[in-house]
Amino acid sequence: MTEFLIVGAGFAGAVIARVLADAGFSCHVIDKRKHVGGNAYDYIDSSTSVRVHKYGPHLFHASLDSPAVRFLSRFTEWIPYEHRVRALLPDGRTTPLPVNATTLEDIFNVKLESQDDARCLINNVRLGDLNVTNTDEYFLHSVGPELSNLFFRPYTKKMWGIDPSLLAKDIGSRLKVRFDRDDRYFLDDFQALPSNGYYHLFLNLLSHENISVRLNEPFMYSMLQDYRHSFLSIPIDEFYSFQYGSLPYRSILFHHAIQRKGLSVSPVVNFTDNSRYTRVTDWSMLSNSYSSVPTLSVPDTIVTREEPVALSLNPGEFYYPVNTADSRIMYLKYKYMAAKENAFTFIGRTGLFSYIDMAPCVNMHLSIAKSFLANL
């Protein structure tokens, strides 16, 4: 009999399945979607030969000595890729994000000779004495009202569907300010993309004699009785029949279009105003865009615009847990119920009600799997 059930074939479930399989245990992985890879799934568009991330750009970045890098490198080779983002300004220009010295020059029409000049400018406009308790206050504390109103307040309200003053401060704290001219989106010392894409990474990750995979298969409660233990990457509130209420999520609608190559100024451009979309991605500008060599022969690329929406407009597609004071209390009630269970463990963003970047997700679920094995 297969010993363990893993619900969800994204990073959380696949990592746990592989660790258990390597330890000699049989695992059955199911996923409601028709593919493995979760939200990191990518594919080659047939008309342009461009690799597209179906659920938005996934950029892997971590410390070089991260367990995630060591673990995933067993299943893929890497292509270096340092991500860059620009923000569209009201006058049609674009400027680097995160905010750096060049951004400050573009907005305030000044010339900054040093990092000290940039730091002095920010210190003069930010509300440094503000006691930060939420995301909006974090913006004001970090960059002041003008930059907050231009880059962060409208974008955040559009992205999350609520005023940033209602969001926990850790959401805003993901946005850093730099005083040099480094325009890379991430500063980690390992930044790369899987050379053959995430989908092939997952095929390798799940290729083991102790792992069986069944797709297009939703979770059923009756499954739990057939396994020694189950790992559930499913909404924890739904599992408990919304006993304490429905945890809030934002979803995304992805609008794909064909565009002539060479028109984009950056792999990603953010729309920081209150318009419909949050960003547009030009997939041809990622370092692993092509599986062959069609760059010269195919003149077109695929671009994807992202539209944040309420979960009710895109049922079942959970992307961003909305972390507020109320939702955190609600989740802790469900977490307390789950802590009493011995037959299953919640994992992943919906099981843990947490937005988790890829490398931290791999590290977290490596730890979960190893702790589980240690306690068998």
pLDDT number for residue 253: 98
Spatial CB neighbours of 185, under 8 Å, sequence gap ≥ 6:
59, 82, 83, 84, 85, 97, 98
Q: Is the pLDDT of residue 293 over 60?
A: no
* Burial call 12-27: b when 16+ CB within 10 Å, e when fewer: bbbbbbbbbbeeebbb
- pLDDT tens for 301-335 read 999 999 999 999 999 999 999 999 999 999 999 99
AA letter at 333: K
106: confidence class by pLDDT, cuts 50, 70, 90: very high
Question: Cα–Cα distance between 79 and 287 in angstroms, integer?
Answer: 7
pLDDT number for residue 291: 65
| Residue 121 maps to a domain | yes
| Residue 168 maps to a domain | yes
Whether pTM exceeds 0.75:
yes
165 and 235 share one domain: no
State the chain's mean pLDDT as an integer.
95
Question: How distant is the alpha carbon of residue 337 from its chain centre?
Answer: 27
| Residue 277 maps to a domain | no
Examine the fold and report which residue of 126, 147, 172 is the final residue of a domain before the chain moves on: 172
Tokens for 250, please give them: 């934002």
Angle between helices 197-205 and 11-22 (to 10 degrees): 30
Closest CA to 5 of 23, 362, 20: 20
148 and 2 share one domain: no
Q: Is the pLDDT of residue 299 over 90?
A: no
151 and 227 share one domain: no
What CATH number is given to the structural domain containing 140?
1.10.3110
Q: Work out the percent of the chain whose per-residue pLDDT is above 90.
A: 92
State the average pLDDT over residues 338-362. 96
| Residue 182 maps to a domain | no
What CATH number is given to the structural domain containing 18?
3.40.50.720
- pLDDT tens for 126-174 read 998 999 999 999 999 999 999 999 999 999 999 999 999 999 888 888 7
State the average pLDDT over residues 272-277. 94
300: confidence class by pLDDT, cuts 50, 70, 90: very high
Question: Cα–Cα distance between 230 and 280 in angstroms, integer?
Answer: 38
230 and 366 share one domain: yes
168 and 105 share one domain: yes
Q: Is the pLDDT of residue 341 over 70?
A: yes
Q: Is the pLDDT of residue 25 over 60?
A: yes
| Residue 344 maps to a domain | yes
229 and 345 share one domain: yes
Cα–Cα distances in angstroms (integers) from residue 35 to residues 101, 106, 269, in the given order: 43, 44, 28
163 and 217 share one domain: no
Q: Where are the alpha helices (DSSP H) in the chain?
A: 11-22, 67-72, 101-108, 115-125, 135-147, 153-160, 169-172, 197-205, 236-239, 325-339, 348-351, 358-374
| Residue 217 maps to a domain | yes
pLDDT number for residue 1: 57
Examine the fold and report which residue of 146, 172, 198 is the final residue of a domain before the chain moves on: 172
Q: Which residue range forms the structural domain that includes residue 239?
A: 1-36+206-246+322-376
Q: What is the DSSP string of 273-332?
A: SSSS-SEEEEGGGSTT-BSSS-TTT--EEEEEEEEEEEGGGSTT---EE---HHHHHHHH
329 and 225 share one domain: yes
State the average pLDDT over residues 239-251. 97
The answer to whether the CB of 113 falls within 8 A of the CB of 145 is no
161 and 108 share one domain: yes
340 and 233 share one domain: yes
Tokens for 296, please give them: 């010269």
| Residue 112 maps to a domain | yes
Q: Is the pLDDT of residue 246 over 70?
A: yes
Where are the extended beta strands (E) located within 173-278? 190-194, 211-214, 229-232, 249-260, 268-270
220 and 362 share one domain: yes
Question: How many structural domains compose the chain?
Answer: 2
pLDDT number for residue 66: 97
pLDDT number for residue 205: 98
222 and 333 share one domain: yes
pLDDT number for residue 174: 77
Examine the fold and report which residue of 172, 196, 230 is the final residue of a domain before the chain moves on: 172
291 or 86: which leads in pLDDT: 86
Tokens for 225, please give them: 């009785």
| Residue 156 maps to a domain | yes
